[in-house]
Structure 1
Amino acid sequence: MTEYNARIQTETARLAALAEDLTVPVPTCPGWTIAELITHVGRLHRWAVHVLRGQVQERIWPRQVPSGLAEGESGDAAWLTAGAAELLETLRVTDPELAVWTWGPDKRASWWSRRMFFELVVHRVVAELALGIDPVIPAEVAIDGVEEYLHNLSYAAWVTRPLAELGVEGATIHLHANDGPGEWTITQGPGGKIEWAAGHAKGDVAAQGSAEDLLLMLYGRRSPAALTVHGDGDLLGRWLTTTAI
């Protein structure tokens, strides 16, 4: 957990530095500006703090947790930084094995550290894209991010419900990072659930690119057209549209 905590601090500083003009539109989050993006991330930090400090055991969502903002008010860089500092202090004093509610499969405090880190990475990239900055995610971070995404995906009910209606049960999607030791095969199971395994395999469709490309593609922030795709591209497109979180 300590490793992710240090990275949370770095990514928060990077995102805060991008929040000079809060009115800039964010094309990869239609309808949002930088202000909405900062507010979203800061709410997630305060949500995690609430869960960890209260040792919450039942489902609770960000909007149910006080943010310190007045109704209709947006966060700014200082508000984001303050919330991240509170999160980091909470993670520092919390037992990583503490049993708490999460929306993923791991019901331990350590889940929140990794999840909040990747929320920051993806939203920092989103802000950079909005500002015309070429984002950079180191390959080892992006590979970890792909596995974190796949690890949690079957537990996101807002994804599994529409996946169950997609009619692609049994389909396989292979992902291949060309800048690091990252290969994964996703198999669509019943009820919208997925199974995945690391390693080389043949899928109904395969997407190859940098680990950064693959991670951002999974999050709906990079088009499959930016990668090399073999096989059923329509399947990949429909699956990605349904699963982006």
Structure 2
Amino acid sequence: MEFGGYVAEVEGQAGAFRAAAVSAGPDAPVPTCQDWTVHKLVRHLAKVYNWVCKSLVAPPESERLHPDQAPEPWDELLGWFDEQLATMVDGLRAAGPDAPAWVFDPTSASTAAFWARRQAHETAIHRLDAEHAAAGSDRADAVPSLVFEPAFAADGIDELLVLMVPRRLARELPDVEGTVLFHAADAGRAWLVELTPGGVPVIGPADEIDTDASVVGTADAVYRAAWHRPSTAITTGDRTLVDALRTP
């Protein structure tokens, strides 16, 4: 996807997120985020946006940045969410994809493009959390399916598997061994994850289907399943391997 497409996704997904959060109300539990309420979910995403705003203007060599504290009253929190979203989107558009920025991943280019992609998917996944909260259920059929375009969903699977999973598991090496296939059928894309005890997962294009576990479905469904959100994707084989890929 192009930079402008990611920024547009941030805006669209954030709008859907906010609408669902308001519909659910601040005290509603979030079935897909253990022990979270909608208030905590909104505060989390608003603080992430604030963190990104700081990252876009910080030198790439800066020490790790920290977000500001969010207001507690619900109406004030919603207003602060709106402010941080608008500032981040404006900052991304003003910067352009190649502008230098601080990023949390040393293997990625330190540019604004990193944040446009990351926040498009951060917002999309939390949109699902807000919609499940509004529905009051963590059943896959509690919220609409096929809300994400195949290309966008496939890009989110790729970002998760290539960036987020190895980064998390490098700090907490898995004690499992095997291969997992992720197949987003309508996007025509597939990934093979190879897990070894005490090793960082190896992720690449899938050139075989004889694996120890598989997650197969539409790109939308596999995107949700990869992020361990309720999904209609079909998971077969050794589920401990899929569970080992869990991210926060």
| TM-score with structure 2 setting the length | 0.83
Secondary structure of 2:186's counterpart equals coil
Which residues of structure 1 form unaligned runs of 5+? none
2:125 corresponds to: 122
1:230 corresponds to: 236
Secondary structure of 1:230's counterpart equals strand
What are the within-5 Å matches in structure 2 for residues 158-237 of structure 1?
159-162=169-172, 164=173, 166-169=174-177, 171-188=178-195, 191-201=198-208, 202-222=210-230, 226-237=232-243
Looking at structure 2, the residues matched to 93 and 55 of structure 1 have their Cα atoms a distance apart, in angstroms, of 16
Change (3 A) 1:90 1:11: same
Change (3 A) 1:192 1:128: farther
Q: Provide the aligned length of Structure 1 versus Structure 2.
A: 232
**1:176–1:183 CA contact under 8 A, matched in 2:** yes
Report which structure shows greater RCO (CA 8 Å, sep ≥6). 2
For residue 174 of structure 1, what is the amino acid of its counterpart?
A: L
Deviation of the 1:191 alpha carbon: 4.9
For residue 156 of structure 1, what is the amino acid of its counterpart?
A: R
For residue 116 of structure 2, what is the amino acid of its counterpart?
A: S
Secondary structure of 1:18's counterpart equals helix
Change (3 A) 1:154 1:126: closer
**Structure 1 residue runs of 4 or more that deviate by more than 6 Å after TM superposition:** none
CA RMSD of the aligned region, Å?
A: 2.3
Instruction: Confirm whether residue 4 of structure 1 aligns to residue 6 of structure 2.
Output: yes
Looking at structure 1, the residues matched to 150 and 28 of structure 2 have their Cα atoms a distance apart, in angstroms, of 28
Which residues of structure 2 form unaligned runs of 5+? 136-141
Deviation of the 1:219 alpha carbon: 1.4
Deviation of the 1:3 alpha carbon: 1.4
What are the within-5 Å matches in structure 2 for residues 90-169 of structure 1?
90-104=91-105, 105-106=107-108, 107-132=110-135, 134-135=143-144, 136-154=147-165, 156-157=167-168, 159-162=169-172, 164=173, 166-169=174-177
Secondary structure of 1:19's counterpart equals helix
Moved more, 15-24 or 84-93: 15-24
Looking at structure 1, the residues matched to 207 and 166 of structure 2 have their Cα atoms a distance apart, in angstroms, of 25
Deviation of the 1:138 alpha carbon: 2.2
**1:160–1:191 CA contact under 8 A, matched in 2:** no
Deviation of the 1:85 alpha carbon: 0.6
Task: State the percentage of identical aligned residues.
Answer: 25
Secondary structure of 1:167's counterpart equals coil
| TM-score with structure 1 setting the length | 0.84
Looking at structure 2, the residues matched to 161 and 16 of structure 1 have their Cα atoms a distance apart, in angstroms, of 33
